[in-house]
Amino acid sequence: MGCDFTFIHCADLHLGSRFWGLSRKDPELGKRMYESTFRAFSKMVDIGKEKADFMVIAGDIYDELVETPRTRTFFASELERFGKPVFMVTGNHDHVHSWSDSIPYPKNVKQFSTVPESYKARVRDRQIEIAGVSFDGPHTDENLVSKLRGTPGMFTIGVVHCSVDTAGEGSGYAPCTERDFLGKDIQYWALGHIHKRMTIRESDPAVVYPGNIQGRNPNESGEKGFLLVSVTGDMIEREFVPVQDMVWKDVEIDITGKTTLRELVEQIRPELSRDAIVSLTITGRGPLNTVIRRDPEGFADSLENMSGCVVNLRKVMTGPEIDLERERDSGTLLSEIIKASDSLYDKTDEELLEMLCSKGPAADLRPYLQYYADKGKLRELVREAEMSAIGRLSEVRE
């Protein structure tokens, strides 16, 4: 026995994203990434034509600053190809253009207004309701969730682009709390804005972010896609369906216990698919420390040439194969480096920043180091500097 109906819940398509940084470094890769959002959306439409009764899009369809007639034409034609009802709201990136009416959406599309609206529809043999409200500009401090209501006794889907406090993203766009979703006669809240897939509430009601359909930077790693939501009576089931064209991967390899680069390459080889952009961190201690630290970028380039995927070196956190605890009390220059590093690592990032940049010529570096302090990464640099110094000194000793 099948379900009552099935729909797509997606958000944050960001069609036509430019990927300026990648384009400057590698024009071919930049072009491929530019096309990736379009390909991901087309893949979703292909799947939806076969498996879904309708589609819900919770905002940020494209970026207002880079939306072009080509982007809007593509989106409109793909929705027409989908051929089933589409309900969507706008978010902080895709509010209305003066030329929007020149490329109208097809008749199967309903874009919610900037005032709350609801529409009833018969899907298969069941009457349901979709309620939504759109952004009226690039930013709003209004609690849009609080404005939506469903009809008692009817299955209602609420569609809104917003920032839930428990999502932990620290964004102030259409802020709301988890409690705001309760008691609204809405069984499923289809949210957008947070690019990470997450569930705020499993049920009563379900409150869900599907994430975006294509990662746009190293912080948006892993598979990206949409949720295929199936409803049977009051039961809701969600299936994540990946559609990304390119996947950002955080990959860490450990040199511990390895004596040749071939062993290291074999460890990472399964992660190096041609559709991947890898952010590589190298960790551990052992004899490979010397060769890795001598030319870490060269090692990353060799992985890239071997696999055909993109490999960006993020961190090198390797060290020589020595007993740091024993060396700490050895009374040597090496022991002083370890003790100095420990004393610095015990400080907070702000304390380190103040110590490094409070006076003298080093004060000019404050704007640069402030970035690392704000990200909580200044202490990591201390450990990295320690391992680099220990590695160099160990080479001299050998």
**In the predicted model, what is the mean pLDDT of the chain?**
87
Question: Higher pLDDT residue, 344 or 199?
Answer: 199
H-only helix segments in the chain: 20-25, 27-51, 69-82, 261-268, 289-294, 296-307, 324-328, 333-345, 349-357, 366-374, 378-397
**What average pLDDT does range 209-229 have in this prediction?**
95
Flag whether pLDDT at 317 surpasses 70.
yes
Regarding predicted confidence, which is higher, 334 or 304? 304
Top pLDDT among 347 and 76 is at 76
Mean pLDDT of 268-293: 89
Mean of pLDDT values over 94-103:
69
- Grouping H, G, I as helix, E, B as strand and the rest as coil, residue 145 is helix
Whole-number pLDDT of residue 203 = 95
Nearest to 156 by CA among 120, 129, 126, 124: 129
Lowest mean pLDDT among 192-201, 228-237, 374-383: 374-383
- Lowest mean pLDDT of 10-14, 36-40, 52-56, 348-352, name the range: 348-352
Q: Which of 34-48, 195-209, 288-302 has the lowest average pLDDT?
A: 288-302
Strands 276-285, 310-319: parallel, antiparallel or unpaired by DSSP?
parallel
Give me the pLDDT at residue 20, please.
Answer: 65
Q: How confident is the model at residue 324 (pLDDT cuts 50, 70, 90)?
A: low
Please state, in angstroms and rounded to a whole number, the distance separating the CA atoms of residues 14 and 37.
Answer: 7
What is the predicted pLDDT for the residue at 371? Answer: 76
- pLDDT tens digit sequence for 239-271: 999 999 999 999 999 999 999 999 998 989 988
pLDDT at residue 46, as a whole number:
98
The residues, any chain, with a CB within 8 Å of residue 50's CB and separated by 6 or more, are: none
Q: d(Cα 264, Cα 180) in Å, to the nearest integer?
A: 50
* pLDDT score at 103: 87
Tell me, what's the pLDDT at 94?
A: 66
Q: Which domains does the chain have, with CATH numbers?
A: 5-242 (3.60.21.10), 246-321 (no CATH), 330-398 (no CATH)
Q: pTM here?
A: 0.82
Residue burial 159-170, b: 16+ Cβ < 10 Å; e: rest = bbbbbbeebebe
pLDDT attached to residue 290: 84
* Helical (H) or strand (E) element with 377: none
**pLDDT 10s digits, 343-374:** 777 788 888 788 877 777 777 778 777 877 78
pLDDT at 176: 93
Give mean pLDDT, residues 98-103: 73
Q: Is pLDDT above 80 for 100?
A: no
Higher pLDDT, 188 or 348: 188
pLDDT digits (tens, 9 = 90+) for 109-118: 999 999 999 9
Residues 6+ away with beta carbon under 8 Å from 313: 280, 282, 296, 297, 299, 300
